Amino acid sequence: MVEVREMAPAVTNRIDVTMGFDGAYAPHAAAVIAAVSRHADNAPFRFIILYENVSRDVQERIEKSAPGSSFIWREVGDEDVPAFESRRHLTRATLYRLGLEHLAPADCERLIYLDADITVLGDLRDLWSMDLKGCALGAVADGYLNTEHFEGKTFHQTWDLPEGEYFNAGILLIDLTKVRKEALFTKAMHFAAEHDEGLPYNDQDALNWTFWQSWQPLPVSWNVQASHLQDWAVAEQPVHRRLGGAYPDIVHFTGPEKPWVKDGYHPWSWVYWDSLKRTDFLREVSGKQGFRIIDRLRLRVRWMRKHPGRLMQKKRSTSHDHISGSSQ
């Protein structure tokens, strides 16, 4: 069963952003949404949320993170997962990405997909306007999984594909019109259902198989993973997969080092907390995770030592008038 709830008036020249999460990740998603709005000068977005176990009250609290934007909430149930005979581990969470072909509104032609374990530092209007050069999908290469994927093999070796690059699916720019026309996410869904026990990275593997050598690389700054911040990992990457001296537009907290986990540390953890404090969930998350004010201050000091003042100094374009005609 799909529950649809839409609020706020329609947005002119809107930008569609989609996320998928359950109740446990709802506070972190709110921090993402607050950062999206803040770094786009509170421009109106349409957020399309695929969710499970998120109450109406929590939905309303999340909506407060982006005043002026509109929200569409689509509840994903067990009955929405295709009943493939070979399906074993295909779950509702798989539909957070692969279900967009059918679950996104009919008038949605292009959209930005965001994971909930990220923090946004750039203006998503810049990402939205990028040219996909005829591809249905834009993404950033995965730093870890391009070198070794599964049982000592690369992804293309595992699936007998021509040599190519494997992308991280945490941030995607999607031409949904093209995806729907060619049923590309449905194709990925079938692949995931048939091979799910052999897919260590689940629907990300299925997407890579489906879009192999047919996706548009985005600048690394739009999906800065842990591998882009560790010298040993950077050394293994070709130059075009390195962040270099670019300022991150999106930091992706890949792996177990989530910024809300007190025992771990990520050099950009403070930026997550800076976004969370602009939501209705700061006290809830800090209390649950045992993060005191002094702990958050320590994170900020550690961040400032490596990136003093750069968050506020980052230059952004002051004009986005070109966006309205650039989505297709």
Could you report the per-residue pLDDT of 218-235, keeping only the tens digit for each? Answer: 999 999 987 766 655 555
226 close to 233: Cβ distance less than 8 angstroms: yes
At 136, the amino acid letter reads A
pLDDT score, position 90: 64
Range with lowest mean pLDDT among 69-73, 182-186, 196-200: 196-200
Give the full edge-to-edge strand order of the sheet including 216-217.
4-7, 70-75, 46-52, 16-22, 110-114, 167-175, 137-141, 216-217
316 close to 120: Cβ distance less than 8 angstroms: no
Rounded Cα–Cα distance for residues 140 and 220 (Å) = 6
Rounded Cα–Cα distance for residues 243 and 324 (Å) = 29
Do β-strands 137-141 and 167-175 pair in parallel, antiparallel, or remain unpaired?
Answer: antiparallel
Residue among 277, 283, 223, 288 at smallest CA distance from 30: 277
Residue 308 — pLDDT band, cuts 50, 70, 90?
very low
Residue among 230, 219, 245 at smallest CA distance from 141: 219
pLDDT in tens, 177-189: 999 999 999 999 8
Tell me the domains of the chain and their CATH numbers.
1-328 (3.90.550.10)
User: What mean pLDDT is predicted for residues 39-68?
Assistant: 96
Do β-strands 137-141 and 216-217 pair in parallel, antiparallel, or remain unpaired?
Answer: parallel
Token pair for 61: 């609290």
DSSP 75-120: E--GGGS---TT-SS--GGGHHHHTHHHHS-TT--EEEEE-SSEEE
Residue 167 — pLDDT band, cuts 50, 70, 90?
very high
Greater model confidence, 96 or 273: 273
pLDDT in tens, 245-287: 788 999 999 888 899 998 877 888 899 999 999 999 999 999 9
Does position 6 have pLDDT exceeding 70, yes or no? no
Residue among 202, 249, 208 at smallest CA distance from 225: 249
SS3 4: strand
Rounded Cα–Cα distance for residues 148 and 142 (Å) = 11
Number of helices (H) and strands (E), helices first, in the chain?
Answer: 14, 10
pLDDT score, position 123: 97
Q: What angle do CA 172, 185, 93 make, to 5 degrees?
A: 75
216 close to 140: Cβ distance less than 8 angstroms: no
pLDDT score, position 2: 43
User: What mean pLDDT is predicted for residues 46-51?
Assistant: 97
User: What mean pLDDT is predicted for residues 57-76?
Assistant: 96
Range with lowest mean pLDDT among 21-25, 145-149, 269-273: 145-149
Q: Does the predicted TM-score (pTM) go above 0.75?
A: yes
139 close to 171: Cβ distance less than 8 angstroms: yes
pLDDT score, position 299: 86
pLDDT score, position 33: 98
Range with lowest mean pLDDT among 2-11, 13-22, 82-91, 117-126: 2-11
pLDDT score, position 286: 94
Rounded Cα–Cα distance for residues 258 and 266 (Å) = 7
Greater model confidence, 92 or 194: 194
Does position 317 have pLDDT exceeding 60, yes or no? no
Rounded Cα–Cα distance for residues 287 and 289 (Å) = 6
Q: The tokens 């259902």 sit on which residue?
A: 193
- Per-residue DSSP letter, 153: B
